[in-house]
Structure 1
């Protein structure tokens, strides 16, 4: 009988040399190598899928928690250690399986492909990674010690391999320097959720934080005053009328234009006009000297970027234009701040509500109310169009500046204009359409 090949001769079997081995030691070795493969696969998933909340808990776990954090924070040490270990184990495991197949079935060496590969994928990769993903904190704590030991043991080999790898990455112009970590939005939201459940963050604070996240995704077009609702005046407006209008509208600054609103000359501050009104001769053109330069922004500009722009320019108002350069609205610093804290202020100021229920399905709505807010609050869906406000919806339907009392019928509801200020619809009454009413539907 032929003597079995010692286990130390397994690696040469990768080349295909047939040999007989003792089955029990070989199977035990295969199981051990497979468990090491599972360990390396699970450790990679567990350590690098830890969320911020998991890492906070790990700080209270003593030495194991400190080991996990050290492994997680030093990716240039941990990842190569895992990859080196995994490759060595998988190569050795392939050699063991090849020897087993050649011993049990010398004429069918191709069976190794259908034995080793499924076992490696199932028990060396998929299953351990799935288990680690299900509970990464527990898996990381369990695997931290053996992985740290392995990482220290192969330090010289890892250093040499990383030196070679860095050489090739520099050839391709890849920067391998470590980068600072930035906490992702979902991680911050998880911390906020935990703080809310624990009572550390109140309802108002939570609402403000949520608004901050939403604010970063909001565009200027969502917050701006649309073109039909802009309070602006031509340069030749009589001085006394201009003063009266500014005092009545209670705005701090307005655009001044020549001819049409697309030709804005600048912004006029109400306080400047009132301060120098006695020194300005009507029609003399001296009003131009009081104008501040207006700056323009695209409607697609992010609200967060707009806030930075206001801070940089030390300004409070910007003109919003479309891709053709036409004025579509204006946005102010108050619009941005109102988006951040508006709901909190509304809870304290009932008079600031955009839509007030009167009773029996009747609502009083301000013309500048945002369409999305109107649909959510009142429950009436408005068709899509080139408008952003309820007043803009009515203007789109009637095709002209409506007078008080004009009506539009939509979805079995009557929209009646009950307040008009120059070219702006200031207030609208919305009520169910009664069967006896016979108004013509504006389309």
Structure 2
């Protein structure tokens, strides 16, 4: 080493530091690279992305070849700095101490921190680039890396850390996917983001959450006078109506209004004709997940189902449109919708029906009523009080002030909700 000129030694030192920096940058870039983006680039024909994915598929060998060269280069750099320092300042103890501090500083700045920051900030692009030399080095020194990894594998087995589950770490749960969508920023338009988030919610809600309650159902009572039925058919909002006989639990079937429209207009409609046109009812358990029900509607070619509880009692009905609205939001139709009035007034309150769904109130008003119990505001208040309240009673549920405005027939008809005050920071 003494025979090599000082200028050549300095050039070799710079080269060693550069190589060390390259391997540090490569290690950080490969470990920080987004595998899903690499997979997308590989599907589009990027050879570097394919090679990067191959290397990441054998992480032990990838880290083995990187750290093998990185440690060799760092050790050579430390030795060379000591030689240069002794050549310039002699073989004193303080000289060796200064050389140690000097090589530590050089390695930290030029070979560790700076390259790693670069690798972390541009991980995906650099992973595709460094995969070429790393693949070549791994093929050329495969036996050396394999021999070193024998000891690594033995140590991991001794510590019972076999590294299993690596593939599971690369899969995303529904909550992680949800977070990914919410943090996508400008990459996903707001409306598309809303649809995707609602799609994740379909797995956790049931048809009972989105159904129209029995008290709000528009239905035909076959026992009513035929003139009253004709008038109801002529003025109804919907194309399909449940048909029952006196008791709403005694459902006969579902009537498609358009099929009887001509008969009704020409005055030929009677109860016998009406019963012939009624289709067989389609019943749905209340606990059916909405996502599963969407598939059932498609498989059975149905658009409307009657929701029943575990005892067979009718709870309400759900339509295909109800489920689609959970995905894309409410349709703009001429149908009367009580949720259209769900806006805060100037006094910071809103008057709503007791049968209003809690999920709709939370969505429209930005509230946080609990959803793990009753589905309606009426049910929530009754559960909270364990009694049927009188008008004028005020209470607070989940930090939200509410006032019972009207209560009758064993249920709460109207409720006034007050906007909760924001929590003051400490």
Give the TM-score category using the shorter length: 0.5 to 0.7
Per-residue deviation at 1:149? 0.9
CA distance in 2, matches of 1:46, 1:387: 45
Partner Cα distance (1:90, 1:215) in 2: 44
Say whether the 8 Å CA contact 1:318–1:330 is kept in structure 2: yes
1:324-343 Cα deviation digits (max 9, x unpaired): 44433211122123333336
TM-score normalised by L of structure 1: 0.53
Assess, with a 3 A threshold, how the Cα gap between structure 1 residues 182 and 151 changes in structure 2: closer, same or farther.
farther
Distance in 1, Cα, partners of 2:209 & 2:47: 48
1:147 aligns with 2:127: no
Given the alignment, which residue of 180, 187, 206 partners 1:195? Answer: 187
The equivalent of 2:48 in structure 1 is: 68
- What corresponds to 2:248 in structure 1? 261
> Structure 2 vs 1, CA of residues 72 and 423 (structure 1 numbering), >3 Å: closer, same or farther?
farther
| CA distances 1:391-418 after superposition (whole Å, capped 9, x unpaired) | 5567878989x9xxx8352326543349
Q: 1:414 to 1:182 in 2, by over 3 A?
A: closer
* Deviation digits for residues 15-40 of structure 1 (CA, Å, limit 9, x no counterpart): xxxxxxxxxxxxxxxx9xx9999799
2:57 aligns with 79
Q: Which residue of 1 aligns with 2:89?
A: none
Alignment of 1:49-68 (within 5 A): 49-52=34-37, 66-68=46-48
How far has the Cα of 1:248 moved from its partner? 3.9
Q: Structure 1 residues 296, 208: CA separation in 2 closer, same or farther (over 3 Å shift)?
A: farther
Q: Following the alignment from structure 2 to structure 1, what is the Cα–Cα distance between the partners of residues 67 and 369?
A: 62
What CA distance in whole angstroms lies between the structure 2 residues aligned with 1:244 and 1:408?
A: 38
| Counterpart Cα distance in 2 of 1:325 and 1:350 | 28
1:287 corresponds to: 274
Cα deviation, 1:329-367, whole Å, max 9, x if unaligned, reads: 211122123333336859xx9996132445434534255
Within a 5 Å distance, the mapping from 1:390-409 to structure 2 comes to 390=377, 407=391, 409=393
**Which residue number corresponds to residue 223 of structure 2?**
236
Q: Say whether the 8 Å CA contact 1:321–1:327 is kept in structure 2.
A: yes
User: Counterparts in 2 of 1:102-113, with a 5 A limit?
Assistant: none
CA contact under 8 A between 1:362 and 1:429: conserved in structure 2? no
TM-score when scaled to structure 2? 0.55
Say which SS state the counterpart of residue 317 (structure 2) adopts. Answer: strand
Q: Aligned pair in 2 of structure 1 residues 366, 141: CA closer, same or farther (>3 Å)? A: same
User: Is the contact between residue 48 and residue 129 of structure 2 (CA under 8 Å) also seen in structure 1?
Assistant: no
- Matched with 1:45 is 31
Distance 1:257 1:152, change over 3 A: farther
Q: In the alignment, is the contact (CA less than 8 A) between 2:285 and 2:308 conserved in 1?
A: yes
Distance across 1 between alignment mates of 2:183 and 2:402: 45
The alpha-carbon distance between structure 1 residues 385 and 152, as it changes in their structure 2 partners (threshold 3 A), is closer
Shift of 1:317: 0.9
Alpha-carbon shift at residue 69 of structure 1 (Å): 0.8
Unaligned runs of 5+ in 1: 1-30, 60-64, 94-126, 159-180, 433-443
Deviations along 1:176-224, one digit per CA (max 9) or x if unpaired, are xxxxx9998469737952336xxxx4xxxx1243223323422223221
Corresponding residue for residue 199 of structure 2: 215
Q: String of CA shifts for 1:359-381, please: whole Å, max 9, x gaps.
A: 43453425553223335655787
Distance 1:281 1:344 in 2: 34
- Please give the secondary structure, in 1, of the residue aligned with 2:279: coil
3-state SS of paired residue (1:407): coil
Q: How does 1:378-417 map to 2 (within 5 A)?
A: 387-390=374-377, 407=391, 409-411=393-395, 413-417=402-406
User: What residue is the counterpart of 1:251 in the other structure?
Assistant: 238
2:357 is matched with which residue?
370
